[in-house]
Amino acid sequence: TLLDELGLTYPQYLALMMLWESDGLPVNEIGQRLLLNTNTVTPLLKRMEAQGLLSRARSTEDERQVIITLTAQGRALREAAATIPERLVAGLSAEDTNIEALQVMLAELYKIIQHLSEKHG
């Protein structure tokens, strides 16, 4: 898949999209935006940290919070990932696409659009 080319899972891609738009988010806010609880999002973020995509650090204002910031490698992926929605659409052809596949892709694109619209008001 397109995300495999970048070495990302879909949840990792969504987390990166959030951080590309607003770097330095607390773990709990990332979880809320992804509709995941902290017990689920923390291992996801730890794997991304191990991949060198982000760093985790305690907040200086509230030590209970862990703040997630992108590394240079995480920021660099933004350009490579920018073409993913376009490439999804370009890969469609009337002959080899069935309705179910289109519905799945549409649902995924809708999630991305919804996330971005919530992000920008």
Question: How far apart, in whole angstroms, are the C-alpha atoms of residue 9 and residue 59?
Answer: 27
Where is pLDDT greater, at 82 or 71? 71
Q: What is the pTM of this model?
A: 0.71
Q: Is the pLDDT of residue 47 over 90?
A: yes
Average the pLDDT over 75-85 and give the result: 87
Which domains does the chain show, CATH number per domain? 2-119 (1.10.10.10)
How many alpha carbons fall within 13 Å on the CB side of residue 73?
11
36, with CB counted inside 10 A (0-12, 13-18, 19+), is: middle
pLDDT of residue 80: 85
Q: Is the pLDDT of residue 18 over 60?
A: yes
